[in-house]
Structure 1
Amino acid sequence: MNVAADMSLWGLVAQASTLVKAVMLILLLASVISWVVIFAKRRLMKRTVRDMERFEDRFWAGGNVKDIYDERQRHDELTEGMPALFAAGYEELKRRRVDETATSADIVPSVQRAMRVAESRELERLESGLAFLATVGSISPYIGLFGTVWGIMSAFIGLGNVQQASLSMVAPGIAEALIATAMGLFAAIPAVVAYNYFSNRLDFIENRFGTFMDEMAGIVERGVNAATPPPRDRAPRKAEPAEPVRTAPEL
């Protein structure tokens, strides 16, 4: 076997020790899984933001909250993201409005709790996989370094068993060991970049969720308060231009 073949990338990997090969395999698997998570998470985040913006455009276009709920339910679009928060809040409102003696002080906190529970579920779904990216980004360089240290140590131990040492004898062992470090960085860098990017997108989504929940709670409070006068005074009021939803939900 010639020197060029020995010093090629595949040649160095093939002649690496069993432990260094195991380290390289672990890093390769970690890198592949990281890229799968990255692409899946990118699609999920993109879909969540797109659905959120589409829902907000429809929500603030005016109309009745009940009509918006029924419209989304007909199209089965209340299962993820901001529509899921809206559905949880509106369904809790319907349950609480059965009690005619309930006031805004009773209904609004219940609606807010229901939306917060839905928000927690949505954020948990969006956060899934980020812990794996963080783990890969943190430990991959150390795993690669471990393979490098072991490979260099093995190369120098082998060098000590010969009468006349030369650089050509130790170079392949050091080179194959350094491949482990390179693979560790190859696995870690995309994982860290993706983790930071998705964390920022998640903060953006969480802020939008929080703003919507506050606005929804305000609409519920105004609707419940408007429904408290005697029956003769319950005629719907004309919506102001700045009010996106004209009336409180009707059951």
Structure 2
Amino acid sequence: MGSELPGARRRTCDGAEPTRQRRSFLAIRVFLVEDDVRVAASVLEGLRATGHIEVAGHAPTLAQARAALRQARPEVLLADLQLPDGDGCDLIREARSQGLAGAILVFSVFGDETRVIGAIEAGADGYILKGCTDQELIEALERAHKGESPISPAIARHVLKRLRGDRPGPAAPPVPIEPDSALSEREIDVLKLVAHGFIPDEIGHRLSISPHTVRTHIRHIYEKLRVSRRGQAVFEGQRRGYL
């Protein structure tokens, strides 16, 4: 009496496993492919903080990702497209054809039509722009795990064009910029760091300015680009040739 078989799982009086074990069982296993050290660290920290997402691994290069995915077999692959040793679309194509991941989600600063359609045709289930909030990224991962196809609103039009039968063309040239809406050099510096997922404190440290000044620059960027969210600012900044 009172003893348990070796390896047996302890259960509560109603037959259910303890909460911690149930959470582990229900955890979403995510593998990240990202070469920027600080972006990767920020994303991984956010994933681990959720309590229901398990980090299956991280690789900064295409070669390392190829080797690790065969063992990791994540439920969701979160991958950047621009890697130091190759194109992330090649990894997506291989992961899809070889069944190395359940769902595949692109996480990129680029939102032009050619890259978006190329990634989806390679096998991506969704496409999220860097610059989104931590909560938006978590929700996208959860949706991908459920079999949905999360796509940042700013780039959804590319998918709609393809559904209408339009062929993707070369990236559009930067749109003309009115003098009063042009970003200053400092604002461009801030926007580039926002696009890579840095928060105001980190941007301030990198640019040697206060977080308050960073937030002021971000507010001015939003006003000039006529947007209200980070993902929209990244997309519009790229469309205007700032990124």
TM-score range, shorter chain: under 0.3
- The structure whose residues are more often helix, as a share, is 1
Larger radius of gyration: 1
TM-score by length of 1: 0.24
TM-score by length of 2: 0.25
- The structure whose residues are more often strand, as a share, is 2
Q: Which has the higher contact order (CA 8 A, sep 6+)?
A: 1
